[in-house]
Amino acid sequence: MRLIVGLGNPGKAYACTRHNVGMWVIERAAARWSIRLAPRGAAQRGSGRLGSEFIELAGLLDWMNVSGPPLKGLLRELALTPEHLILIHDDLDLEPGRLKIKQAGGHGGHNGIKSVIETLGTPQFVRIKIGIGRPAPGQDPADYVLEPVSADEMAVFEPCLERAVDALECLIHRGTAVAMNQFNVREREESDQ
């Protein structure tokens, strides 16, 4: 079984903000895999199968900066360890619409990831990072991540959201190393030059 969690903030006011791209991927995956999401406990959740693998999709209903405790509760409820977790979140250091899969590592200044690592006591879980780019010079990153995306930005995000669901399918069926090879292509090509 795999637990796939998208980070974001709850409520309609935050639904279309950059910080909620993790939730957008969960919604795309649920639609593609015919999994119905509904509020249950600390998350918008749905269960289903992807081939032979049982999947639990969850979009946390708590604030981004305190994502750790509800996520730990989900793992406990499902009798899973962090190795069964795939976490999807925004990343300021990747350009908009760019995707990167990472196994373990630090929080990189992301308060949601920091909360998860501190609460779980380990950084040993898979992440799918969705690039949202950097704010304009002088703009507070905290304000930037909570701004709604424009129609032009959404056009950049759309293919990335579909690609993120493709990446989830690859992670589940073929493993982390294969998925990183397939979906982190741009980073590898840049380092070869």
181 is in an annotated binding site: no
- Alpha-helix residue ranges (DSSP H) falling in the chain: 21-32, 68-77, 111-120, 141-145, 151-174, 176-183, 185-192
Q: Are the beta carbons of 126 and 85 closer than 8 angstroms?
A: yes
19 is annotated as an active-site residue = yes
The string of DSSP codes covering 10-28 is -SGGGTTBGGGHHHHHHHH
111 is in an annotated binding site: yes
Catalytic entry in 19, 84, 107, 173:
19
14 is in an annotated binding site: yes
First to last CA, the chain: 39
CA distance 57 to 186: 28
Please calculate the CA angle 107-94-89 and round it to the nearest 5 degrees: 50
* Residues designated as active site: 19
Q: Give binding residues for tRNA as ranges.
A: 14, 65, 111
